Amino acid sequence: MLLAVSVFLAMLLQSRIKNQTIAEVEQQGMQIIQIITQTIRNAEAITAPAQGTSASSLTLDVITSVNDPTVFDLSNGTIRIIEGAEPAIALTNFRITASGLIFSNLSRATTPGTIRIQFTLAHANPSGLNEYNFSKTFTGSATLRQP
């Protein structure tokens, strides 16, 4: 009986850890998408990537001159934002590793700028345990509010 209870508790703990791992990856991914899309919508112009191209960083001309330019990029597995001359701010924490950050400029000549964002987040798993093994690809897009 004690063995059955021990096995059940171990499985319950693994399930709880797996659910926390999934929740952390999804929460950070949605938060990053929201920050990037809101910044794009409020920007004056897309500086890079050029129209019809893709790049691993996004440079925006924003309304607040102190934050100009605003850059999103990937450095050592961390998605960052750099506003003006300020130091980079990490948008992911140490338990999450980001990869495959791509910004595609889908703008056309007569339309406001449109950017598609794609990246993958994976939970750090230095011990190789299955319950910490989770990754997800996030995709979003945003269009400038101002032409």
pLDDT score at 87: 96
| Tens-place pLDDT, residues 8-65 | 787 777 788 888 999 999 999 999 999 999 999 999 999 999 999 999 999 999 988 8
- As beta bridge partners, residue 62 has 43
Looking at the structure of the chain, the number of domains it has is: 1
Domain with 121 in it: 2-143
Distance (Å, whole) CA 37 – CA 34 = 5
pLDDT score at 147: 54
| Tens-place pLDDT, residues 77-131 | 999 999 999 999 999 999 999 999 999 999 888 788 899 999 999 998 878 777 7
pLDDT score at 146: 66
Could you give the percent of the chain with pLDDT greater than 90? 69
Distance (Å, whole) CA 18 – CA 20 = 5
